[in-house]
Structure formats: C-alpha cells, structure tokens
Amino acid sequence: MSSGGGVRLDHDGLVTVLTIDRPEARNAIARATMRELADALAEVAQSPARVLVVTGSGDRVFVAGGDLKELATIRTLDEAAAMAETMRSVLDRVAALPVPVLAAVNGDAYGGGAEVAVACDMRIAADDVRCGCNQVTLGIMPAWGGIERLTALVGRGRALALMTTGRVLDAGAALEQGLFDEVVPRDAFEPRWHEVAEQIARAPREALIGIKAAQRAAFPTTRPDLADDAIAAFARTWVADEHWQMVDEAAQRRRAARDGG
C-alpha cells in the first residue's frame, strides 16, 4: 500500500511494516498523511499480523513532526483543534492496536515525531539519532497524546523538564531516561529491529493480544478523558501570535545556517 500522503504498508508474513515515506518533507505529517495512517491502522487491525513496525524512510529522519508548510494554513481555534483531534485519534489507535507495535527509530524524531514514537509499545533506535518533545521551541505544546505517554515512560519530573525546556536527547541519553528501549549501532540497526519483530511474531497471535490487553488494562496507553482539555489548550497556543513569530524565527535560523550566514 502506497499513496499520496506518504504512508506505505508492507506485509511480510506475520510482520507488517508501516513506513512514513515523505522524504521531500523530512517525513513530516500532513493532513493527507493522517488520513492514510488511520486507513493503514484499520487494515492492520483486521489482518493476521502479529506485530506492527512503525518507521520512517531513509536514515536521517523518523518523523519531523507536523508538516508546518501545509499546517501553517490552519489559523483558527476550530481548525487547530480539529487537526489535533484527528492526529491524537490516530496515535490512540496506534497505542490501542491489539498486537505489539515496535517503533524502529531510523532517524531524528522531533516534536510530533517523538509523539509517534511514544505511541508505540517499544522503541529501538539507531545510535546516531536524536529525539525530543520540543514543541515549546515553536511556542506550542504536544497535542497528540504525547504528554501523558512520555510521562508514563520517563516519569513526571523528567517528562516535564523535557517538554518545558525543549531539550533534545541523543540516543544514549534517551536510552538512559527510558525514552528508548534499545539503541544499536547504525550498521546493525535494521537487522536488529527485523530480528526483534520476527521474534515477537513467533508467538501465537492470541497470546500476544492477551498479553498486550492485560498490560494496557494495568497501564493505560490512551487517556480519552484528557483529550478535550489538552486539545483546547493546544489550539490556543497554535493560533497565538507568539507561535507564528517563533515559527518565522526558526525558519530564518534555518535559512541562515543553510546560506552560511
């Protein structure tokens, strides 16, 4: 399965790989990508797959977050809330998928990309990647469920520090803090995540479903009761003048770095 939003779904026996394949946008998520992710997840849920691997194309970026070039057209509270609700729902479906979901973090994962990674059940990363819930550097906040999922992974204090400072972690620090579960050298990265996925897929599907369901009951991975307030708070930050000023400043810094200025 491959389509205009940059989502590719490949079935390899009992392992299914979902690739966000938008190299022209650093694998950033546009609205079409959100729709295609929802369709792909519905297909996986109805398939015999025993494990889903989520990754990005190439070896530089896992997911760069939301596609700001496209999403910059969103300027009202209602539009911002609708966008956040759509992608939060998508990542809730990742977290609630009945079979295990492995994030193969092939490259840097910033902002919404980190939210994609923490929606998965486990994360294997190459040793040269960086990861951060750094939305605050653009004057906004995580809106796709990443706040509660990051907190569950690394603890309240660490998560709050990461999100409020915008700190980006290298792979070793992310492993130490519990954001990544395993970090491997770049040349061993792809063989390793394939190995782990295949090991999981050897177990009976019903056993995998039962294990994940029991774990999810003990440690919820979705919090629909928090969605309305979080989405409303995000929408207010999105439409604020400070957000767009910080976006412009970030773009100017990128242009200066590219031009050697």
State residue 224's pLDDT score.
95
State residue 1's pLDDT score.
47
Tens of pLDDT, residue by residue over 26-65, are 999 999 999 999 999 999 999 999 999 999 999 999 999 9
State residue 261's pLDDT score.
57
Q: Considering the entire predicted model, what is its pTM? A: 0.96
- Give me the number of domains the chain comprises: 1
Tens of pLDDT, residue by residue over 67-85, are 988 999 999 999 999 999 9
Give the CA count within 13 Å in the CB-facing half-sphere of 214.
Answer: 5
249 part of a folded domain = no
> Distance (Å, rounded) from C-alpha 140 to C-alpha 156?
19
Q: What is the CATH number of the domain that holds 27?
A: 3.90.226.10
CB 132 within 8 A of CB 78: no
Among the ranges given (1-5, 31-35, 104-108), the one the predictor scored with the smallest mean pLDDT: 1-5
Give the CA count within 13 Å in the CB-facing half-sphere of 47.
Answer: 21
State residue 118's pLDDT score.
98
> Distance (Å, rounded) from C-alpha 113 to C-alpha 132?
8
Tens of pLDDT, residue by residue over 19-34, are 999 999 999 999 999 9
Q: Tell me the mean pLDDT in the region 14-18.
A: 98
138 part of a folded domain = yes
Per-residue pLDDT for 2 more than 50? no
227 part of a folded domain = no
Residues near 160 by Cβ (< 8 Å), separated by ≥ 6? 151
48 part of a folded domain = yes
Phi, psi of 138 (to 5 degrees): -110, 15
State residue 255's pLDDT score.
87
233 part of a folded domain = no
Which string of DSSP letters, residue by residue, matches 169-193?
Answer: EEHHHHHHHTS-SEEE-HHHHHHHH
Tens of pLDDT, residue by residue over 132-173, are 999 999 999 999 999 999 999 999 999 999 999 999 999 999
Tens of pLDDT, residue by residue over 203-258, are 999 999 999 999 999 999 999 999 999 999 999 999 999 999 999 999 899 888 88
Q: Which two tokens stand for residue 18?
A: 């979902």
Which structural domain, as residue segments, surrounds residue 111?
A: 7-205
